[in-house]
Amino acid sequence: MGIIRVNNIKLYAFHGCLDEEAKIGSDYRVDVCVWADLDKSAKTDDLNDTVDYVHLNHVVKEEMAVRSKLLEEVAQRILNRFFVEIPMIQKAEVSVAKINPPIGGNVEEVVIVLTKER
């Protein structure tokens, strides 16, 4: 079993419960970690034998573009697509961070992390 990480995917999106968040948006950071059998790709040097991190990034960008009130819902959609579209994945973790959240304090970010296994 091996791990592929795609870290610090930076995006601008419009998630949140407040009406203002839907209008002005915020900066977000997404980190992805997937577990899969990478033994074959380590021997064949063939992209078809591994999890393509370009595909992972594409899914994140598409799902982050769909507005949600809660970050949990966004992360769950990302995980669900990973498992539908990439059968090789055995386990995945997605972390979604809202940078400078509007919560009335000096808070750098809020982060939710969801994990899913086959």
Q: What is the Cα–Cα distance from 88 to 54, expressed in whole angstroms?
A: 15
Please list the residues that pair with 37 across neighbouring strands: none
For residue range 22-70, list pLDDT tens digits in order: 889 999 999 999 999 999 999 999 999 999 999 999 999 999 999 999 9
pLDDT of 95: 98
Give the pLDDT score at 84: 98
* pLDDT value for 38: 97
CATH number of the structural domain spanning residue 49: 3.30.1130.10
Region 1-7: mean pLDDT is 97
Tokens representing residue 25 in the block: 């948006």
8 lies in which domain range? 2-117
Question: What would the pLDDT profile of 81-118 be if each residue is shown by its tens digit?
Answer: 999 999 999 999 999 999 988 888 889 999 999 999 99
Q: How many domains does the chain have?
A: 1
Q: Can you spell out the DSSP letters for 12-24?
A: EE--SSSHHHHHH
Whole-number pLDDT of residue 76: 98
